[in-house]
Amino acid sequence: MPAKTRFLFFLPLLLLFGYGIKRSLSAPGSDFSAYYAGSREIVHGRYPNAYHLRTLNSAILADGYSGNFVSYGPFPPFTAVIFAPLLFFSMGLAKLVFNIISCLLFLLTLWRCSRILAIPPWLLLVTPVVFFIPILNNLGFGQAYLILCCLLLEGWLAYREQKMGAAALFWGLAILFKLTPAFLFLFLLLRRKYRQLFFLAAACGILFGISLGVTGIGAWKFYVADILPKMGRGELNDSFTFIFQSAFMLLKRVFLYDGLLNQHPLYYSPYGFVLSMALFKALVLAPVILVTVRGRDEFFVFGVWLLASMLISPNGSSYSLVVLLIPLWALAPAGRVKTAVAVVLVGVACAVAVSRWGGYPVWGQFPRLYLLLAFFGFLLAQAGRIWNGWLILGLAAGFFGLDVRNYLPVKDNSSYVLSKEEHLYIYDYGVKDHRLVYFYQDDRGQGEKDTGIPVGALTDDSLQMRDNQIYYKGMRMTVSPDWKEKAMLLDGGTILYLSDKNRGSGFYTLRQIRINDAAVRGASR
């Protein structure tokens, strides 16, 4: 197709970018403010501030941006390397520059891919329609998934042309930037591309070394030890939210109990959760492994891996769906009818307003998940017979063994203070008119809430915080790894404290420990 004719099919995408950038100028700082302010703290050697909610949001407010409440928790320290050049601009200008760069790179990469991979013109034309919401949300939130898509595709083009160094660089950047593209190691291993695997490992090592020079080792140690384990359990903010539209969250809501966030599971069983999640991962990954080993169309295999990695992730978002362009385009050789079916599935998945489904029973709250599973099944149907029961059972057993230890019952003398979840982040508490009050923050700002709990005295007598654990009269009262702050003694019989147990990092709520002989004996042991 001549370049001038091809350009006409890109005009709708160009118009969408113009509309999205204009619209983003009046949008709140949103996720970009977390990128910007958090990266600034890390670059200046203050990495704990980036991951401390109140400090981070106070810094954003000091920059003149209200209407935000964000967390830097999902972002690895390497993000600061990417965003360091933008720190020379004000936050508003930096977001505009970042969005313009994202759009230009995305257009350039798609132009190259459409020519090299011979993407049908009609598919180019409907791409901005299918990904209308994800693209607008990327620009409105100032998110980075347009760039991630570019890195994955440019890495693929380089890999296709056997440019191992370039492929490793692009894919290494994608892995350190968002972590989930780490599936590329398995893809290369199963395809027996050992040299490319070595190059990718080397690129990741070099980029990690560069990151250490910018961020320091402390930020990475903190991220790996404190943030990653919580992310693996889907604890970014509300750890039971249906907004993520993942199988992980669906099964948590079915099987796991939380006194504030999931008070009525359908059937409480931690082992049921671990087993069902292990089976889900096995059912997703087993056919992908077989497709990888047997498949001839590597771009198709690449796209299937990308979708599988999204399905088994605990987390999800509307803006991340833009990377589904890769498996959608990978299906193009299957023919117009099959591709059109996939376009409908992906388009509806991208367009569904998941926030409106929260009032339905738990099984009805995950429409996007079901649509993505249908798209996944449709992709696999093009690969022929890919069923191996022994592989599924082996993977399920492996996943169960790896995960079950994280959900074994543990003795915990603590419990929630509140009876319902009204505010996801509480940063302080105290006494007012002889009642317990707490102070919270959300996207509308800071506020105060009277709990109605009577208070005679609230002191720190005989309490100490050492190594993130609470001690009462020299005896250790807690053993859990959750972050804790401000331990106080209520009326001499109850220890109150702020905790992010089973929640996103730093998303504190009030917990309590009743002081009695049994509790003291248990803590002392």
User: How does pLDDT run across 80-111, given as a tens digit for each residue?
Assistant: 999 999 999 999 999 999 999 999 999 999 99
User: Is pLDDT at 438 greater than 50 in this prediction?
Assistant: yes
Q: Are 513 and 476 in contact (CB under 8 A)?
A: no
Give the bridge partners for 441, in sequence order: 446
Task: Look at 203-212, 309-318, 403-412, 483-492 and tell me which has the smallest mean pLDDT.
Answer: 403-412
In which band, very low, low, confident or very high, does the pLDDT at 1 lie, cut at 50, 70 and 90? low
What span, in angstroms and rounded, lies between the C-alpha atoms of 489 and 503?
23
Query: Domain end: 378, 409, 440, which one?
Result: 409
Domain with 260, as residue range(s), is 233-409
Whether pLDDT at 522 is above 70: no
Judgement on whether residues 403 and 419 belong to the same structural domain of the protein: no
Q: What average pLDDT does the segment 466-493 reach?
A: 92
Distance of CA 60 to the CA centre of its chain: 21
Q: Do 103 and 160 fall into the same domain?
A: yes
513, 494 contact by CB (below 8 A): yes
* 206-246 tens-digit pLDDT: 999 999 999 889 999 999 988 888 888 888 888 999 999 99
Same domain, 405 and 455: no
Read off the amino acid at residue 204: C
Q: Would you say 314 and 120 are in contact if contact means Cβ atoms under 8 Å apart?
A: no
Which helix (H) or strand (E) segment holds residue 338: the answer is: helix 336-351
User: Do 290 and 426 belong to one domain?
Assistant: no
pLDDT tops 80 at residue 439 = yes
pLDDT at 11: 93
- pLDDT bracket for residue 28 (50, 70, 90): confident
CB contact burial 33-69 (16+ within 10 A = b; e otherwise): bbbbbbbbbbbeeebebbbbbbbbbebbbebebeebb
Are 162 and 57 found together in one domain? yes
> Could you give the strand order of the β-sheet that contains 494-499, starting from the edge strand earlier in sequence?
414-416, 509-514, 494-499, 484-490, 458-459
More confident residue, 344 or 31: 344
Averaged confidence pLDDT in the chain: 92
How far is the C-alpha of 291 from the C-alpha of 310, rounded, in Å?
Answer: 17
pLDDT at 519 exceeding the cut of 80: no
Averaged pLDDT for residues 181-199? 96
Q: Note whether 374 and 433 are same-domain residues.
A: no
Quick one: 435 and 516 in the same domain?
Answer: yes
Contacts of 155 (CB under 8 A, 6+ apart): 166, 167, 168, 169, 170, 171, 174, 184
> CA-based diameter of the chain, in Å?
83
Answer whether residue 521 shows pLDDT above 50. no
Over 80: is that where the pLDDT of 247 sits? yes
pLDDT of 520 higher than 60:
no
Assign 517 a pLDDT band (cuts: 50, 70, 90): very low
pLDDT tier, 2 (very low <50, low <70, confident <90, very high otherwise): low
pLDDT of residue 295: 79
Average pLDDT over residues 18-24: 95
- Same-domain status, 199 and 274: no
Over residues 424-453, mean pLDDT: 93
When pLDDT is averaged across residues 431-440 and rounded to a whole number, the result is 95
* pLDDT tops 50 at residue 70: yes
Q: Tell me how many domains the chain contains.
A: 3
Would you state the pLDDT for residue 405? Answer: 87
> Where a domain ends, among 340, 375, 409?
409
Q: Are residues 79 and 197 in the same domain?
A: yes
Whether the CB-CB separation of 167 and 158 falls below 8 Å is answered with yes
Of 374, 409, 444, the position where a domain reaches its end is 409
Claim to verify: residue 26 and residue 168 sit in the same structural domain: yes
Are residue 213 and residue 256 in the same domain, yes or no?
Answer: no
